[in-house]
Amino acid sequence: MPDFSTKKDDLNRELEQFISKLNSVLPRYSYLFKQPKLNPCETKELGEIEHFLIELNSKITELKNILEHDLFGHSLDYYYQTKRKAQEGDFEAKLKLERLRAAFNESLKGDALMNWN
């Protein structure tokens, strides 16, 4: 899937830019936050940065939830499709189902998110 490779590269590049820009904002926030006294301009700046970071944290949490739910939903859908095929006698599906169950059991033991896709 050549299109995926391009999208993956684009996403990685944008994430690296995002992290870089965030890393340029955080030191200023930390500096202002630690100051015992701020002038009115600095107080306003600190409030704006803090408000922005709270909004950003909310968006990052939303993205994380979307990813986790999507991965989990696809994994369950795949599991049940494979289980149905195995019940219909598909030998390859039976083998896949055994691997999926083993992965499921391991992920439960390791307290990890399962991704069977």
Residues contacting 40, CB < 8 A, separation 6+: none
Q: Which of 96, 94, 95, 86 is nearest to 117 (CA)?
A: 96
43-47, 68-72, 100-104: which is most confident: 43-47
Report helix, strand or coil for 52.
helix
Q: Which of 58-62, 65-69, 86-90 has the lowest mean pLDDT?
A: 65-69
pLDDT tops 70 at residue 25: yes
DSSP character at residue 36: S
Q: What does the pLDDT read at residue 1?
A: 55
DSSP character at residue 101: H
Residues contacting 94, CB < 8 A, separation 6+: 86
Residues contacting 56, CB < 8 A, separation 6+: 22
pLDDT band at 117 (very low <50, low <70, confident <90, very high): very low
Mean pLDDT rounded to a whole number for the chain: 87
